[in-house]
Structure 1
Amino acid sequence: MLTEDKVNILIVDDRPENLLALEAVLNSNDYHLVEARSGEEALKCVLKYDFAVILLDVQMPGLNGFETAEIIKQRVQSRHIPIIFVTALSKANEHVSAGYLTGAVDYIFKPFNPLILRSKVEAFVQIHKKQIEIKLKNQQLEVQSEQLKEKKDNLEAIINEKTMELLEKNKELKVSEERFKKIFRYSPNLMAIRSLKTKQYLDVNESWVHFTGYENKEVKGCHGDFILIKEVDQSICVQNQTLIDLRVGLFNVEITYLTKEKELRNGLISTETAQLNGEPCIISTITDVTERVQFEKEISRLDRLNLVGEMAAGIAHEIRNPMTTVHGFLQLAKNQNEPQPKEYIDLMIDELNRANGIITEFLTLAKDKANDRRQKDLNSIIKTLHPLLRAEALLSNKEVKLELSNCPYLFLDEKEIRQLILNIGLNGLEAMHSSGMLVIKTFMEDEQVVLEIKDEGPGIKKEILENIGTPFFTTKEKGTGLGLAICYSIAARHSAHIKIHTSKKGTSFLIYFQQTNKVLEVSARL
């Protein structure tokens, strides 16, 4: 006995394991799943019950999926039931066409994506519920019509009453339209309305204009894809060539889009159809998640740094003490009357010094590294380093320029900040050709002190940019890959964060520091 408060869904497959997989994906308190293991058994179920949707396997013994679907569609009582073919057959056009000719509304190919399957089934369930609701309302209207016929004496009063109801509904409709306009106009999400027939933009809201950089007048009445929306997972709709914001029934699909200023941003797109002024339209909503994606990448980077820091703290004590002993012994042996060949000893000492230097850099990454943070003037630290950087630049006919603005004092470990500036500055000088200019700037932005180190090199490739700051990642033949990782570790210990802007004209590293009073406020709350 099927309960009235659950929606019936028929799943048809001759293989028990496939039925079990479908049941696991569609398991819900709102669904009543009915199984059929053949086309004949499916037809019997259709004669007994009304279903919101049928998931039908194509390859079955006896009646196959196509034949079963054709019979279901021939029966008046069941021809309205949507059919989704679940099949492992080839995705060739002839198979898909055959399915649609027999009455299918969609295809799911094995192995299927559980999220997509649930979403599609839920969409048809909602349509089924709406149809039932409409049917009930029609029945109610029929009852009301019979009552009106029986009450001829009160016909005039009933007409007046209905007229008042219609006027009230019309008023409510106007209020609803006004609410929709306000929601559309002032939504924090990017919203656009496009015609399904002409594909023209009919309207975009203020958030869409703000995020994309296009004016409303540039977009209205135009076709195409202004912001080049692309799915992050291209495998979901490989065969669908329709512009993504014109596809019906999307929900939080991960995408990227391009602003007028050529900035690539991340978002989640959903679409819904609507009738506006009698015209079929589609409303697309994009939730911008660029900052969230960047934050998640930063968290991942910090997790890797923490892991390396724990490793550094664990191995430092075991390696450094014996290395110091060996280093001292070799120095004594070098000064004896009959020493080992000097070139051998020099080579070993150089190698030990190199190993010691690597370990020292590695220890800099340790998350529990002690530092001496005091109120310091960032500009003074930069001015102290300027002669050193300038001397290094002059060796290769390059220049270092300072553009320092008045900034408040910060809680800084001077030695660490010097290391950060030198690491990034020397990398910038190495990246530039002769006559290049390295610019070091300080300025205020949103109550934060910003240190910018900008070079005129060829820029950083996208595939390399994602790994910047990862320990031991380097493009240099003799580099350790710890320089920029140390910079990120130093920034983290100063509650600062680093942003990188790069192009073919050069690269800028921007380090954002919280003001001293802001840091004190956060510390007090903690």
Structure 2
Amino acid sequence: MSSTDKVAILMVDDRPENLMALEAVLESEHYLLVGASSGEEALKKVLQYDFAVILLDVQMPGLNGFETAEIIKKRQSSSHIPIIFITALSQANEHVSTGYLTGAIDYIFKPFNPVILRSKVESFVKIYRNQKEIECKNAQLEKEALELQKKQNNLEQIIEEKTKAIRIANEELQVSQERFRKIFQLSPNLMAIRSLIDRRYIDVNHSWFQFSEYTHEDLKEKHDDLLNITLHTKDLHSIHIPVDLCENLYNKEVAYTTKLGVRREGLLSTETAIINGEPCIISTITDITEKVRLEKEVSRLDRLNLVGEMAAGIAHEIRNPMTTVLGFLQLAKNQNNEPQPDEYIDLMIDELHRANGIITEFLTLAKDKANNRREKDLNSIVKTLHPLLRAEALMNNKEVLLELEECPPLLLDEKEIRQLILNIGLNGLEAMDAGGSLKIRTYTEEDTVILKISDNGPGIPADVLENIGTPFYTTKDEGTGLGLAICYSIASRHQATIDIKTTKQGTDFIISFQAINVETKPAFNRLL
């Protein structure tokens, strides 16, 4: 294949290793890969080649990516070239308000996924080739029309040939539009098209429905912002229109609300367009809820790990002298030749026992705490605790309901699982007013056993939910802040996870255990 038949792709990055990485991902006999190490060099290359797409690094010395993109889009000869920004999230946020956002067709984060990058480039190459084919066909049609006019002066025949050519061009245009439509619908991001005239929803993609939990019926004749999008920053605090109708936003950190009232996190970008003669705005939300949650979870686990290590060290150092003092006081109490007031000695012994109990509870946070895991039935543990929870509930005019399905046996430390259920269950009972109902449910999902403890209290506030499970963080006047921290530590030792779903109608604690693998069970028992 000659170089003239290849599709030109411009790669711009000031780091040679990044250019080499891009070239390795995109290498193909069908592509002519052109590299540039600066914005200035990229502008020269744009004058020399007809590029199908430009991969543009955001941060470069001298002329940065945003400034380079703005110059390219201002030139009439290159304004049609699609640009994909290659950037890191933190870097992009530093420039979202600089104004150099014109012409951004798409973006991809560093470190980029080679499959996603190549897929996006191939999509734009296909569009470029389709456009070139249409241009060639149109040029050929014009040439044939001129030749026909020279050979024949039959006006009717000329009109017929041109009508046929227009029909073919329209069919090809419809095919091209259908391809764009598929890109819109199959995008993993929430995409919506809204009218700038009356703010109605013209169209939304599948991901929008999936994340928002709305249906087609919910969108009919709706002119309000159904997602209740709010900015985390205050740079647009003076606007009087919905955030997703603001023009030229790029990766703005926002929060949006689903139909069921769940708040999620995202990055919002907007772009104006004329659709069927009507001014519209296309909004794209990249959902980062899971990413934000994982970052918070990693931070919480780091703190928990540190406290666990401290607990093991402190308990080891304090318990030995405490045991000595305790033994001495008990011995002194029994010595009749030097009697001491019993109330003083009893008080000191009780206080030492109390301090020892607190340290014992704190020690359960240690990640290397030994446990006694054996094959147990989770339902039997729940049934054993039911009378205790029920008695506590009846004292405050509440009830505890069990909904236990047959579950496979699990490798559990019964004492620790009892402590986990009691901590979460008692918290749920305390959260409810009189007449409330606590439900404990067990069921299976594929190879996972689920323990779900639900209350119908007022829910957990967002600021409390962010810190839940952090040692010594408590909202109770006399609480130690160790109850849920211990629950997370117990779950970690059982390779289980704890998820929390909370609304104003109640809170669900969902603990997921891995079922015993029959193939690995004998080996695990030998380790025990």
TM-score by length of 1: 0.68
Task: Give the residue type in structure 2 aligned to 1:373.
Answer: R
Structure 1 contact 203–216 (Cα < 8 Å) conserved: no
Instruction: Find the aligned partners of 1:518 and 1:173 in 2 and give their Cα distance.
Output: 58
| Partner of residue 366, structure 2 | 366
Calculate percent identity across the aligned residue pairs.
60
Corresponding residue for residue 314 of structure 1: 313
Query: Aligned equivalents of 1:225 and 1:31: distance in 2?
Result: 30
Query: 1:155: Cα distance to partner?
Result: 7.2
- Report deviation, 1:186: 3.2
Deviations 1:98-149 (A, max 9, x none): xxxxxxxxxxxxxxx841355x2252799xxxxxxxxxxxxxx9xxx9xx9x
Corresponding residue number in structure 2 for 1:405: 405
Q: How does 1:97-496 map to 2 (within 5 A)?
A: 114-118=94-98, 120-123=99-102, 156=150, 170-231=170-231, 233-337=232-336, 338-434=338-434, 436-445=436-445, 447-496=447-496
The 1:218/1:422 distance shift into structure 2, 3 A limit, reads closer
Q: Distance in 2 between matches of 1:31 and 1:390?
A: 64
SS of the equivalent of 2:95 reads helix
What is the distance in 1 between the residues matched to 2:518 and 2:346? Answer: 51
Q: Find the counterpart in structure 2 of residue 77 from structure 1.
A: none
Can you list the C-alpha shifts for 1:471-511, whole angstroms capped at 9, x where unaligned? 01122233211111000111122122222334455433221
Partners in 2 of 1:395 and 1:491 — Cα distance? 30
- Quick one: distance in 2 between partners of 1:202 and 1:32? 33
Distance 1:455 1:31 in 2: 51
Q: Offset of 1:405 from its aligned partner?
A: 1.1
Matched, 1:6 2:5: no
Give the CA deviation at 1:164: 9.0
1-structure distance, mates of 2:255, 2:518: 34
Q: Could you report, residue by residue, the CA deviation over 1:368-412 in whole angstroms, capped at 9, with x for unpaired residues?
A: 222222221100111222233334444555443322111111121
**One-letter code aligned to 2:96:** I
What is the distance in 2 between the residues matched to 1:276 and 1:380? 63
Which amino acid in 2 is paired with 1:451? L
- Taking the aligned partners of 2:503 and 2:222, their CA distance within structure 1 comes to 31
Seen in structure 2, the aligned counterparts of structure 1 residues 117 and 361 have a Cα distance that, compared at 3 Å, is same
- 1:365 offset after TM fit, Å? 0.8
RMSD between superposed Cα atoms in Å: 4.0
CA distance in 1, matches of 2:500, 2:66: 50
How far does the alpha carbon of each residue in 1:233-288 deviate from its partner, in whole angstroms, 9 at most, with x for none? Answer: 23232233332211222222222212222222222222222222222222112222
**SS of 1:469 mapped into structure 2:** coil
Deviation at 1:433, TM superposition (A): 4.5
Q: After superposition, where does 1:16-95 map in structure 2 within 5 Å?
A: 27-28=62-63
C-alpha change, 1:256 and 1:311, in structure 2 (3 Å) is same
Distance in 2 separating the partners of 1:263 and 1:304? 27
Q: Does the 8 A contact of 2:305 with 2:367 survive in 1?
A: yes
1:299-356 CA-partner distances (Å, limit 9, x unpaired): 2221221111121122222111111111111111222223332222222222211221
Query: Does structure 1 conserve the Cα–Cα contact (< 8 Å) formed by 2:67 and 2:100?
Result: no
Distance (Å, rounded) in 2 between the aligned partners of 1:4 and 1:436: 70
2:501 match: secondary structure: strand
- Count of paired positions: 416
Matched residue SS, 1:470: coil
The residue aligned with 1:59 is none
Contact 2:450 2:511 in 1 (8 A): yes
Q: Match for 2:240: what amino acid?
A: Q
Amino acid in the other structure paired with 1:288: D
Give the secondary-structure state (helix, strand or coil) at the position aligned to 2:474. Answer: coil
How much has 1:458 moved relative to structure 2? 4.2
Distance change (3 Å), C-alpha of 1:446 and 1:270: farther
Matched residue type, 2:102: A
Report the Cα distance in structure 2 between the residues aligned to 1:451 and 1:32, rounded to whole angstroms.
54
1:313 and 1:208 map into 2 onto residues whose CA distance is 48
> Which residue identity is paired with 2:251?
N
Residues 147-185 of structure 1 deviation map (CA, whole Å, 9 limit, x = unaligned): x9xxx999748x999999877654442221011122223
Note closer, same or farther for the CA distance 1:402–1:116 as it changes in structure 2 (3 Å cut): closer
Q: SS of the residue aligned with 2:411?
A: strand
Are the structure 2 counterparts of residues 188 and 493 from structure 1 closer, same or farther at C-alpha, using a change threshold of 3 Å? same
**Cα 1:162–1:301, aligned 2, differ >3 Å: closer, same or farther?**
farther
Q: Report the Cα distance in structure 2 between the residues aligned to 1:183 and 1:196, rounded to whole angstroms.
A: 23
Q: How far apart, in 1, do the equivalents of 2:202 and 2:422 lie?
A: 54
Alpha-carbon deviation of 1:289?
A: 2.5
Counterpart CA distance in 1 for 2:65 and 2:476 is 60
Contact 2:262 2:503 in 1 (8 A): no
Q: Name the CA shift for 1:216/1:503 in 2 (closer, same or farther; >3 Å).
A: closer
Partner of residue 515, structure 1? 515
**Other-structure match for 2:499:** 499
Corresponding residue SS for 2:290? helix
Deviations 1:433-486 (A, max 9, x none): 455443322122454222122335444333222222110112223321111100
Aligned residue identity for 1:27: G
Instruction: Say if 1:271 and 1:156 are closer, same or farther in 2 by CA, change over 3 A.
Output: farther
Q: Is the 8 A contact 1:186 1:205 kept in 2?
A: yes
Q: Output the CA distance in 1 between the equivalents of 2:198 and 2:519.
A: 55
For the residue of structure 1 that corresponds to 2:284, the secondary structure is: strand
> CA shift at 1:517, angstroms?
2.4
Which runs of 5 or more structure 2 residues have no equivalent in the other structure? 1-38, 45-58, 75-92, 106-134, 152-157
Alpha-carbon distance change, 386 to 3 in structure 1, aligned in 2, over 3 angstroms = closer
Q: Which runs of 4+ in 1 moved over 6 A?
A: 29-33, 50-54, 152-155, 159-168
SS of equivalent residue, structure 2 residue 309: helix
Shifted more, 434-443 versus 189-198: the winner is 434-443
Instruction: Tell me the secondary structure at the aligned position of residue 451 of structure 1.
Output: strand
- Structure 1: distance between partners of 2:94 and 2:205: 34
